[in-house]
Amino acid sequence: MLVKDLITNCDYEKVWENMYNDFFKGKNYTDEKIAYFKDAIKLAIDEMRTIDAKPQPEWLIVVSESYDDLTPNSKDKFMESYLYKTEDIKSLGVDSVVENGINVSDWNEDKLKEYFRNKPFIQSWGYEFSEWKDTLSMYVWDGSLEENTKEKCAGVILFELTYCGFSQEQVNERVNEIFSRDTEGKAHSLEELEEVFDGELDDEKIDIKIEEDLSESLKISYLNWVIMYDRLKKIQKELTLED
């Protein structure tokens, strides 16, 4: 199903109920702010209805529940969406650790790091900075719509689409604001920054503060990977049958 068809054909009250429970409930927002979010997202959907969505089958969004690997002891889950290129899914290799059901619970940090360095890699893309017309033209995996309600999936995707603003104009302004300068105030063009983001990130330069032992966080990351690997292999089979 196209993202546009999903978002614009759902009952908004049910979509908002899911969005509220997944992303706003229990957070430090006033009732006035919550009411503003609800009205602003509805207006965003109204704008999305006017956008021409030309199908892009080369992209696929998967909506899934994940564990929070930054607070591993909480075992909290949250809804998230993942954007993949279908060609990348088709070429995904075999993970023998997952396929053989190997228990990693007693693996130490070094062994877990080695596993993650060598496991099959697939790029997941963000779309919160993208043009709405592009994301609305992408497809949502049918399996996500079977595992969750349409309203749940629509809410998760809408949260990403409106992360930087509640209209395409607001999103563009926010994107330009974010990508036009770095921490030293030096201006960059969008093209220059796209080249940076397209390159590989050096994980030694990424500072993530984790309260617990890193090995516990990596074990949660492994659980999330097992869940997603299973979905990706199902999609891979579906895409192969279509070919």
Mean pLDDT calculated for residue range 69-86: 83
In degrees rounded to 5, what are phi and psi of residue 127?
Answer: -135, 10
- 59-67 vs 139-140, strand pairing mode: parallel
Helices 109-118 and 214-242: crossing angle, nearest 10°? 20
pLDDT in tens, 153-167: 999 999 999 999 999
pLDDT of 77: 84
- What pTM, to 2 d.p., does this model score? 0.85
Inter-residue long-range contacts of 238-241, CB under 8 Å, 24+ positions, other chains counted: 239/86, 239/89, 239/90, 240/90
Q: What are the distances in angstroms from CA 21 to CA 62, 78, 181?
A: 20, 10, 35
CA distances to 46, 125, 128 from 82, rounded to whole Å, are 24, 7, 11
**In the predicted model, what is the mean pLDDT of residues 212-232?**
88
pLDDT at 182: 52
